[in-house]
């Protein structure tokens, strides 16, 4: 009989309490974000629960008080027991108020809720080996995914990722033709269009509701004269002669990433480039046993692998495929050069030519 190590048990229970506290915070944080409580606290604080309820538009004080105490216990807001007032630190504002902050996490909480909503369908897929179609697992998985990735795109696409490519920025400034394949709701495409007004952009995604939303975003941002969104799979893109193709956080979700790579090679000009942004990962699972890998493996179990297995071929790369595997897949499509050009805390950027 194995001897129980009491110290290890207590340490493990402590870890589980922390993890469960984080899980329990998902609905209360989502309520706070939707009702504007974090923003109201940023504007009015330090403030009592009654003051916060009033600042948020006349919410019920008793609910607001319990919510605020929950967030204080989470460590998401600050609480002064002597004055019974709540406040937000500048660091907390970066996570819960500043939508253009690189660490704004509203989308992460929405994604967590979408994974819970999709749990029965993914569990069924475990038993059958089938996939779960993108957008079918939860009411607005594609909205949550777009919101999750937006802060990273706002702070990196134009500032870091595109400049890291060989000679691409010059083409963009002078009027390149760009395809954003797997564009989702269009945040990435629109950010590029705003930064490079002489270039033209076509966003492609196989999910029609995402394309509908993307077209709405293009109109509201005033770039619909240079940005078009089309519902199509990666292998069905009909246009040719692109100077640049981009694929943001989507290659690993595709059922046939090798077929996608081959088609990207066909639609590019001879001197064109394909930029592939993927979740950061090591080439071996042991390298991904860290907080970022933990997030990606769990999301991959609930979203990425089921989505891929629902599609043609169903390779199921997963969100932690790693650079070596991704590069092998990309080269199989006819690209001679594949190199990592940028590494961040959450993503790596590969350039294929």
Task: Summarize pLDDT for 124-140 with one digit per residue, the tens.
Answer: 999 999 999 998 888 88
Asked whether residue 271 carries a pLDDT value surpassing 90, the answer given is: yes
Residue 46 has pLDDT above 80, yes or no: yes
CATH architecture of 6-96: Orthogonal Bundle (1.10)
Sign of the CA dihedral 285, 300, 277, 92? negative
Pick the CATH number of 106-352 from 1.10.167.10, 3.30.470.20, 3.40.50.150, 3.30.1220.10: 3.40.50.150
Point out which residues pair with 151 in neighbouring strands.
none
Q: How confident is the model at residue 262 (pLDDT cuts 50, 70, 90)?
A: very high
For residue 77, the model assigns a pLDDT of: 98
Whether the Cβ atoms of residue 276 and residue 282 lie closer than 8 Å to each other: no
Beta strands in the chain (DSSP E): 78-80, 85-87, 177-181, 200-205, 227-231, 242-248, 268-279, 338-343, 347-352
Cis preceding-peptide flag for 206 (omega within 30 of 0): no
Residue 135: what pLDDT? 82
Q: What is the mean pLDDT of residues 33-60?
A: 97
Contact (Cβ atoms closer than 8 angstroms) between residue 202 and residue 228: yes
DSSP β-ladder status, 78-80 and 85-87: antiparallel
Confidence of residue 322 (pLDDT cuts 50, 70, 90): very high
pLDDT in tens, 74-116: 999 999 999 999 999 999 999 999 999 999 999 999 999 999 9
The model's confidence at residue 1, banded by pLDDT at 50, 70 and 90, is confident
- Kind plus residue range of the DSSP H or E element containing 209: helix 208-220
Please give the pLDDT value at position 31.
98
Looking at residue 252, what is its pLDDT? Answer: 98
* 304-319 mean pLDDT: 97
- CATH 3.40.50.150 in the chain, residues? 106-352
pLDDT at 108: 96
- pLDDT tens-place string over residues 113-125: 999 999 999 999 9
Could you tell me where in the chain the CATH 1.10.10.10 domains are found?
6-96
Contacts of 161 (CB under 8 A, 6+ apart): 275, 277, 341, 342, 349
Q: What is the pLDDT of residue 2?
A: 82
Q: What is the mean pLDDT of residues 330-350?
A: 97
Each residue's pLDDT tens digit, 142-182:
889 989 999 999 999 999 999 999 999 999 999 999 999 99
Q: How confident is the model at residue 286 (pLDDT cuts 50, 70, 90)?
A: very high
């Amino acid at each position: 009989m194995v001897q129980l190590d009491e110290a290890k048990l207590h340490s493990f229970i402590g870890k589980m309490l922390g993890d469960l506290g984080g899980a329990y915070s998902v609905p209360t944080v989502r309520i706070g974000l939707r009702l504007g409580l974090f923003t109201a606290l940023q504007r009015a604080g330090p403030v009592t629960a009654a003051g916060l309820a009033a600042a948020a538009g006349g919410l019920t004080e008793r609910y607001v008080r319990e919510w605020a105490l929950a967030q204080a216990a989470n460590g998401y807001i600050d609480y002064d027991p002597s004055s019974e007032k709540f406040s937000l630190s500048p660091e907390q504002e970066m996570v819960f108020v500043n939508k253009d902050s690189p660490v704004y996490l509203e989308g992460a909480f929405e994604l967590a809720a979408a994974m819970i909503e999709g749990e029965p369908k993914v569990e069924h897929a475990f038993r059958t080996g089938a996939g779960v179609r993108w957008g079918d697992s939860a009411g607005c998985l594609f909205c949550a995914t777009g919101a999750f990735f937006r802060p990273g795109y706002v702070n990196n696409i134009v500032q870091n990722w595109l400049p890291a490519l060989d000679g691409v920025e010059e083409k963009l400034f002078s009027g390149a033709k760009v395809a954003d394949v797997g564009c989702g709701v269009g945040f990435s495409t629109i950010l590029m269009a705003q930064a490079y007004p002489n270039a033209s952009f076509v966003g492609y995604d196989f999910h029609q509701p995402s394309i509908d939303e993307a077209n709405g975003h293009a109109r509201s941002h005033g770039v619909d004269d240079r940005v078009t969104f089309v519902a199509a799979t990666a292998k069905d893109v009909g246009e040719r002669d692109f100077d640049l193709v981009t694929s943001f956080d989507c290659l690993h979700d595709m059922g046939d990433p090798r077929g996608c790579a081959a088609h990207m090679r066909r639609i590019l000009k001879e001197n064109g480039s394909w930029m592939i942004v993927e979740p950061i990962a090591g080439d071996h699972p042991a390298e991904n046993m860290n907080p970022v890998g933990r997030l990606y493996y769990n999301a991959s179990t609930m979203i990425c692998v089921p989505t891929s297995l629902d599609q043609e071929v169903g390779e199921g790369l997963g969100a932690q495929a790693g650079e070596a595997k991704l590069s092998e897949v990309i080269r199989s499509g006819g690209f001679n050069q594949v190199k990592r050009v940028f590494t961040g805390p959450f993503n790596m950027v590969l350039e294929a030519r």
